[in-house]
Structure 1
Amino acid sequence: MPTLFEGGLDPFVADSFIDRVEKHINAMNLATDKLKIILATYNFIGDTEIWWKIVLHTHDLDTMTYDSFKKLYYEKYFLALKRRELNKEFDRLKQGNMTVTEYENKFTSLLRFAPGIANDEEGKIEKFIDGLDLTIRPIIAVLEPTEYAKVVRKALVVEAESKDSRLSGSPTSTTRV
């Protein structure tokens, strides 16, 4: 079962809770919206439990869809303002001083807040490459990759080759991509 959820101001905790609930919903192969909602709300405690009781006074559980439940939940525990802020953070994301692995982890964690890009492989690849360090970006871009996972692997190879080149002191490297 998902862990208990008592609300709070951290949108990542709220989002993570729903991810865990949906993992259980899929594993249990729950078919009806009502069962999905019951499972999701079963572990509400404290503030969330009070909020849910209030929601039930104004909404009929028998006719509520799971999507409408999630919309209410996110409106309460993942404010639109915070979602927009995270979307902007994603838009501004650059590798900078991060390793490719750190950049990819940050990229992936923020990607869900950019739904237009998250569902578009080409847009995701373009945004990822655009944020790469200037020493890596041109090498990856020229390959014209079509799969996100391959872009990440190639960027990791280029980064490793670049690091090896600097460590060995050779002015040029034969990068294998």
Structure 2
Amino acid sequence: MKGCPSVFSHVADPLEADDWLRAVEKQLNIAQYNDTEKVLFASSQLQGATQDWWESYQYGRTNNAPAITWQEFREEFRAYHILEGLMELKQEFRALKQGSMSVAEYRDKFAQLSRYAPNKVADDTDEQR
């Protein structure tokens, strides 16, 4: 809690959901939490509709199901919050033009969106294209 973790309730932009997950994961790695502690910590930062989703997800599991791993939490969180907007982000990435952005703004936007099209920027040649 010393790292002042942010809470997550819901965002319209899938990039913000992914940014939250990445920031929490960074804090968890620094704190050297084990798999179970990571899930407990991250899920404690959920509020509102996202907390409702998490409680429903847990309730839907059978009683003899193994403990939820961090990998499972990440995959389910991403499936719920990011997958829907992923195609839109890929389209935005493909259509990205510098336009009125500065070179630095364009570079930053390119880097942000390229997370969702890694096969399009697999090497330097692809990235330059």
Contact 2:89–2:113 (CA under 8 A) maintained in structure 1: yes
Return the offset for 1:18.
0.3
Cα distance 1:117–1:35, how it changes in 2: closer, same or farther (>3 A)? farther
Matched residues in 2 for 1:126 and 1:99: separation?
Answer: 22
Q: Is the counterpart of residue 104 in structure 1 residue 112 in structure 2? A: no
Other-structure match for 2:73: 69
TM-score w.r.t. the length of structure 1 is: 0.62
Counterpart position of 1:49: 51
Please show how residues 23-172 of structure 1 align to structure 2 within 5 Å.
23-31=26-34, 33-59=35-61, 62-78=66-82, 80-117=83-120, 120=122, 122=123, 125-130=124-129
The residue type paired with residue 90 of structure 1 is F
Give the drift of 1:111.
1.0
Kept in 2, the 8 Å contact 1:5–1:44? The answer is: yes
Q: Which amino acid aligns with 1:14?
A: A
Bigger relative contact order, structure 1 or 2, given CA contacts below 8 A and separation 6+? 2
Partner of 2:107, secondary structure, is helix
Render the CA deviation track for 1:82-115: whole Å, top value 9, x for unaligned.
1011112212223333322111011011011113
CA–CA distance in structure 2, aligned partners of residues 40 and 115 of structure 1: 26
Cα gap change, 1:111/1:98 in structure 2, threshold over 3 Å: closer, same or farther? Answer: same
CA RMSD of aligned residues (A): 2.1
Gapped regions of structure 2 (runs ≥ 5): none
Q: For residues 76 and 40 of structure 1, what CA distance do their matches in structure 2 show?
A: 15
Contact 2:93/2:113 (<8 A) preserved? yes
> 2: CA distance between counterparts of 1:6 and 1:69?
16
TM-score, normalisation: structure 2: 0.81
CA deviation string 1:47-103 (max 9, x = no partner) = 12221111111236843222221121122222x231011112212223333322111
Amino acid of the structure 2 residue aligned with 1:6: S
Cα separation, partners in 2 of 1:52 and 1:81, compared to 1, 3 Å: closer
Would the aligned equivalents of 1:37 and 1:66 in 2 still touch at CA under 8 Å? Answer: yes
Contact 2:13 2:85 in 1 (8 A): no
Letter of the 1:86 partner, please give it.
L
Aligned letter for 1:43? Q
Counterpart of 2:44, as a letter, is: Y
Percentage of pairs with the same residue: 30
Displacement of 1:22 in angstroms is 0.7
